């Protein structure tokens, strides 16, 4: 293997590790999210659909389904300098919402690891509509 190939492979490996490390730092556990919101240090944005929200949600969370997030960004403008935790059912949509918010200039955005499923598994309270 020539020097270029080794450097190229090393570069790809380092880039992948940096991406994974960054993703890890953008996650908060449900218990961390609960503590941050109860201490008024963060807000939760629930990006699930209406039927999911109506089935049970975190008290005080802001409900904006993922497919409406771009259009409803002005509703979150007041939280531009606040820690925002995105949350969905299990973590996939909240990761996409994190990207949308970061692209819109929100800098303190995290995704709840495991979503409402993990929240419930940890025995944390939810409320019905």
Q: What is the mean pLDDT of each run of 10 residues along the chain (129 residues)?
A: 47 44 71 96 98 96 98 96 96 95 95 97 92
Q: Which domain holds residue 61?
A: 27-121
Single out the catalytic residue among 28, 47, 64, 88. 88
Residue 88 is a catalytic residue: yes
Q: What is the pLDDT of residue 129?
A: 75
* CATH code, domain with 53: 3.40.250.10
Give the separation between CA 32 and CA 106, rounded to whole angstroms.
20
Say what the pTM is. 0.81
Give the separation between CA 67 and CA 65, rounded to whole angstroms.
6
Give me the number of domains the chain comprises: 1
23: enclosing H helix or E strand: helix 3-25
Give the separation between CA 92 and CA 128, rounded to whole angstroms.
23
Give the separation between CA 49 and CA 66, rounded to whole angstroms.
8
């Amino acid at each position: 293997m020539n020097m270029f190939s080794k450097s190229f492979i090393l570069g790809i490996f380092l880039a992948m590790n940096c991406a994974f490390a960054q993703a890890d730092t953008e996650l908060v556990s449900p218990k961390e999210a609960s503590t941050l919101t109860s201490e008024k240090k963060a807000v939760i944005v629930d990006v699930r659909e209406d039927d999911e929200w109506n089935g049970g949600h975190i008290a005080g969370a802001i409900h904006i389904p993922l497919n409406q997030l771009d259009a409803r960004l002005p509703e979150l403008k007041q939280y531009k300098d606040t820690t925002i935790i995105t949350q969905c059912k299990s973590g996939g949509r909240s990761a996409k919402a994190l990207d949308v918010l970061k692209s819109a200039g929100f800098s303190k955005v995290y995704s709840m690891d495991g979503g409402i499923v993990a929240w419930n598994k940890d025995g944390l309270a939810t409320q019905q509509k």
